[in-house]
């Protein structure tokens, strides 16, 4: 590993093999970052939850959960990974390398979580917490819980519950593209709408959120 990477993450590993594993994609080796990612994901959620709990003593649990979700989502993790310049250090198989895996959000996000897990294994919880705190310093300073809105699926659910209109259903109707570039197509069926609304996204969750947003717009039109 280069000195630039150590400078970037501001942590010196006693066992550098852990860092190498955290940067290794499954396309490269059976000994890859997936187990460390599993560990790092849990640590990240705990550290961010603890930070928000202390910073916002008067904010309710539901709002804190939404803020945390916005901070630990794939897009935020990938943005932090790019700031740390992880991409050039990722160890990828030939196919992933050729298809641009070193700059793919999902891989960058997974690798960052794996690094958190690796730091925990190498230096303990305080070292991992310090790394997360450094990486999230600017974002935590700019968090305003009152500005975090509920996601479309939650808003749609609440809209329908308030009108005793039952619950929406979501069905995957198509999955397009290769494994590393999947596009999910989801339909949302809602009482009160003549036709299902359709959403798209790089994951089933994102496609469901898009379909719910389309349903909310359609319901707003019927209320107008």
State the Cα–Cα distance between residues 157 and 222, nearest whole angstrom: 17
- Its domain, for residue 160, covers 152-223
Q: Which of 41, 96, 110, 187 is catalytic?
A: 41
Q: Does residue 158 share a domain with residue 117?
A: no
Q: Does residue 137 share a domain with residue 185?
A: no
State the Cα–Cα distance between residues 79 and 75, nearest whole angstrom: 6
Using the 8-state DSSP alphabet, how is residue 170 labeled? Answer: E
Of 111, 128, 147, which residue is a domain's last? 147
Mean pLDDT, range 218-222, rounded to an integer: 84
How many domains would you assign to the chain?
Answer: 2
Catalytic annotation present for 41: yes
Residue 150 has pLDDT above 90, yes or no: no
CATH number at residue 169: 3.30.160.20
Q: Does residue 22 share a domain with residue 133?
A: yes
Residue 1 has pLDDT above 60, yes or no: no
Of 120, 147, 174, which residue is a domain's last? 147
Catalytic annotation present for 113: yes
162 Ramachandran zone, left/alpha/beta (phi>0; psi -120 to 50): alpha
Q: Which of 37, 51, 113, 187 is catalytic?
A: 113
CB 127 within 8 A of CB 120: yes
pLDDT range class, residue 222, cuts 50, 70, 90: confident
Residue 180 has pLDDT above 80, yes or no: no
pLDDT for res 76:
92
């Amino acid at each position: 590993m280069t000195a630039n990477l150590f400078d970037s993450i501001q942590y010196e590993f006693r066992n550098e093999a852990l860092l190498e594993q955290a940067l290794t994609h499954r396309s490269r080796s059976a000994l890859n970052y997936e187990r460390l990612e599993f560990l790092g994901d849990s640590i990240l959620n705990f550290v961010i939850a603890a930070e928000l709990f202390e910073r916002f003593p008067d904010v309710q649990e539901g709002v804190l959960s939404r803020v945390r979700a916005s901070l630990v989502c794939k897009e935020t993790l990938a943005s932090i990974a790019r700031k740390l310049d992880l991409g050039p250090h990722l160890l990828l198989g030939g196919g992933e390398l050729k298809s641009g895996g070193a700059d793919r959000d999902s891989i960058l996000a997974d690798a960052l979580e794996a690094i958190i897990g690796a730091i925990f294994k190498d230096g303990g919880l305080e070292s991992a917490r310090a790394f997360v705190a450094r990486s999230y310093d600017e974002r935590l300073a700019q968090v305003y819980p009152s500005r975090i809105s509920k996601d479309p699926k939650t808003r749609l659910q609440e809209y329908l519950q308030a009108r005793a209109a039952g619950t929406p259903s979501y069905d995957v109707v198509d999955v397009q593209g290769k494994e590393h570039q999947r596009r999910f197509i989801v339909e949302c069926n809602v009482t009160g709408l003549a036709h299902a609304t359709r959403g798209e996204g790089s994951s089933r969750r994102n496609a469901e959120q898009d379909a719910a947003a389309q349903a909310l717009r359609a319901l707003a039109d019927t209320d107008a």
